[in-house]
Chains A and B, each alone.
Chain A
Amino acid sequence: MESFTKVTGLAAPLDRVNADTDQIIPKQFLKRIERTGFGQFLFFDWRYEADGTTPNPEFELNQPQYSGAVVLITGKNFGCGSSREHAPWALADYGFKAILAPSYADIFYNNCFKNGILPVVLAEETIAMLLERGKTAGYTMTVDLENQTVTDSEGFSQPFEVDPFRRHCLLNGLDDIGLTLQHEPDITAYESKRPLWKRGAVAA
């Protein structure tokens, strides 16, 4: 798994609430069987005009000042809807390393940690302020997982909460399947006690 310790760079505001995973990566791009190459399709329907190739000049991330942004600042309930992990794959492939929002949908939040993206929860008022600051060209932020702080180029500094185990795994880029497999004897012991009628796809 990808690790994350600290990122410093341009921050881009996406001032919308409930941005769902259908917007982050529309369904027509879910047919690929690889994990890579999804960045070109990120926010596709917002990003491009109807022809699918002309960049929509209205769309926030198409502003030249946000080219190369690594931090995304956005509204509440980010990543709601479909469980598609293609959403964090697309965000990561596009170049985002950290997201700042007041809240996230559960599955998306979880998927981020599996892909080296740090989703940070900050208060709604704080996000409103950062969305405003993000409008200035060259606005830079630092998101530091080691010290659990978000800072910006204008003197803003705030600590954030993150589950200690998730933090540990992300800092070290741990393979969590490998971690579970270390408990193989426990899994086998559990299986030996499962009732016989839980047969799954084997008819009795």
Chain B
Amino acid sequence: MPKTMFEKIWEAHVVRETVGQPSLLYIDLHLVHEVTSPQAFEGLRLTGRKVRRPDLTVATMDHNVPTTSRSLPILDQISKKQMEALSDNCREFGVTLYDIHSKRQGIVHVIGPELGLTQPGLTIVCGDSHTSTHGAFGALAFGIGTSEVEHVLATQCLPQSLPKTMEIRVNGKLGEGVTAKDIILAIIGKIGTDGATGYVVEYTGEAIRALSMEGRMTICNMSIEAGARAGLIAPDEKTFAYIQGKTFAPQHAEWDEAVASWRQLPSDPGAKYDTLVELNAAEIAPYVSWGTSPGMVIPISGLIPSPDDYADAADRRAAERALEYMGLTAGVSIQTVALDTVFIGSCTNGRIEDLRAAAGILKGHHVRAGIRALVVPGSVPVKLQAEAEGLDTIFKDAGFDWREAGCSMCLGMNPDILQPGERCASTSNRNFEGRQGKGGRTHLVSPQMAAAASIAGHLVDIREWDKN
């Protein structure tokens, strides 16, 4: 019986099955950050439990951290307390922590892969919905709540009900200027923000295989924005090459053994998924979100939709509300709307390839007067690599703020926020009301589109940018 990659990983991690109950799954890697863990550690203390496998648990600080110089004091006392709580908890329970002074610190979903912790075939969890990012390596990775964080800390296992499987096949080749970000925005626009709820999605097809590991991470990262439990991409030579030599990658004989095992992971020919969605890559334009949900997207060449375009009454009301919140008028080109801020960063698009792509557009140009632009590398290693390549100089010369690593304006838990009414082209993942600051208006785009928008002062079609 041919099996999907998901089925193979699932079956390899079942510790125990009891009729009428969820399966007990073993977790190979548990990533921890400061915001969703303090109550879990407190739970352990209250029940006298230990962290079962500190060796399979890694913590960092990302959500709260200021992105100004690390030598400055942290002014937000509540954030500081939360970071100190993580330090104390990691020390007490013996968990490895990369704090804000570590050369390995960064967004948890950026550092996992770059440390070689993220590997094919693993089960990976974190108290963060964007844990789906790690699926780009063929790992079954999903976000969990704080009660489940405590569960994994205490038992290294998690009871899980079997999800359904969905294949999203992206056929053909992407056009010039179209990126992984545009693929995933197009997918969410097509299936909706609850289109994959209850499913683990496997992305397949020529356009997915052609993506770099960074691009694959961008795709899997936003699986949650379509409601998916997890996103998966089959590992291949690109995956192995990315991992080899990383700090925690298997070495020597273990490397060979691991790769041999990873080669068995891809779905078997003829394996059955519960649902299939197909897209043609050649038809995907650069996408931009216009509303307050990641499903509210249009091609950059498109017009802002009207509530009347929606068949369902509840969706119509949501569109009306979104237009009002976003300060937009139906039927207008999204390219005419003036921006205040451009943010490049996040676990979606804060990796080195994203910074290279943005810098490639910015080189020799300057951010339009009145635009606040900041670039926040996804991790300290990304920042150092970018500086070694001189990308920081390109950004700074263009008028961008060059910051320290963290989640930053993706969710605005630290001081990097939008003011009410401010409009931002952002490489992040969520355009919810108030996501980047109360009253802030977010347009999700690729790094190239964000960079071009910063120069123009409004969103532009990157495909026509070179001709300008």
Show the binding face of A for B, using Cβ within 8 Å. 15-18, 20, 22-23, 26-28, 30-35, 45, 50, 75-77, 80-85, 88, 103-107, 110-111, 114-115, 128, 163-165, 176-177, 179-181, 183, 186-187, 190-191, 194-204
Assuming A107-B144, A165-B20, A201-B58, what are 5 further A-B pairs, CB within 8 angstroms? A17-B318, A22-B432, A33-B85, A82-B430, A180-B157
The answer to whether B117 touches A183, judged by C-beta atoms less than 8 angstroms apart, is no
The answer to whether A83 touches B64, judged by C-beta atoms less than 8 angstroms apart, is no
Across the interface, which residues of A come within 8 angstroms of B315, CB to CB? 17
The answer to whether B434 touches A202, judged by C-beta atoms less than 8 angstroms apart, is no
Closest to B131 in A: A83
Q: Which of A80, A180, A194 contacts B193 (CB 8 A)?
A: A80
Q: Would you call the interface of chain A mostly helix, strand, loop, or mixed?
A: loop
Q: Assuming the A-B contacts A17-B315, A85-B146, are A33 and B248 also in contact, with contact meaning beta carbons closer than 8 angstroms in the complex?
A: no
- Give A61 Cβ to nearest chain B Cβ, in Å: 16
Central interface residue in B52, B57, B58, by most chain A CB within 10 Å: B52
Q: Assuming the A-B contacts A33-B81, A83-B128, A164-B20, are A105 and B258 also in contact, with contact meaning beta carbons closer than 8 angstroms in the complex?
A: no
Q: Assuming the A-B contacts A33-B38, A180-B157, are A199 and B248 also in contact, with contact meaning beta carbons closer than 8 angstroms in the complex?
A: yes
Q: Contact string, B243-264, partner A, CB cutoff 8 A, digits 1/0?
A: 0000111111011011001000
Q: Assuming the A-B contacts A27-B411, A45-B438, A107-B144, are A204 and B151 also in contact, with contact meaning beta carbons closer than 8 angstroms in the complex?
A: no
| Beta-carbon contacts under 8 Å, B191-209 to A | 193-194, 197-198
Kindly state the separation between the CA atoms of A187 and B161 in the bound complex, as whole angstroms: 18
Q: A-B pairs with the 10 shortest C-beta distances? A: A200-B56, A33-B38, A114-B147, A85-B145, A111-B145, A197-B250, A197-B254, A77-B194, A83-B143, A85-B146
Q: Contact string, B402-422, partner A, CB cutoff 8 A, digits 1/0?
A: 000000000111000000100
Q: Which of A88, A165, A198 contacts B122 (CB 8 A)?
A: A198
The answer to whether A33 touches B42, judged by C-beta atoms less than 8 angstroms apart, is yes
The answer to whether B15 touches A183, judged by C-beta atoms less than 8 angstroms apart, is yes
The answer to whether B434 touches A201, judged by C-beta atoms less than 8 angstroms apart, is no
| Beta-carbon contacts under 8 Å, B437-459 to A | 438-439
- Give A135 Cβ to nearest chain B Cβ, in Å: 15
| Beta-carbon contacts under 8 Å, B310-325 to A | 314-315, 317-318, 321
Central interface residue in B78, B81, B119, B255, by most chain A CB within 10 Å: B78
The answer to whether B154 touches A26, judged by C-beta atoms less than 8 angstroms apart, is no
- Report if B69 contacts A (CB, 8 A): no
Kindly state the separation between the CA atoms of A179 and B144 in the bound complex, as whole angstroms: 18
| Beta-carbon contacts under 8 Å, B203-237 to A | 224-225, 227, 229
Across the interface, which residues of A come within 8 angstroms of B129, CB to CB? 81-83, 107
Q: Contact string, B28-56, partner A, CB cutoff 8 A, digits 1/0?
A: 11000001101100100001010011011
- 16 A–B contact pairs at CB < 8 A? A23-B432, A23-B434, A26-B438, A31-B35, A31-B81, A31-B82, A76-B194, A77-B193, A80-B227, A81-B430, A81-B432, A83-B145, A183-B24, A194-B26, A201-B57, A204-B248
Across the interface, which residues of A come within 8 angstroms of B85, CB to CB? 33
- Report if B101 contacts A (CB, 8 A): no
The answer to whether A114 touches B148, judged by C-beta atoms less than 8 angstroms apart, is yes
Closest to B149 in A: A85
Across the interface, which residues of A come within 8 angstroms of B434, CB to CB? 22-23, 26, 45
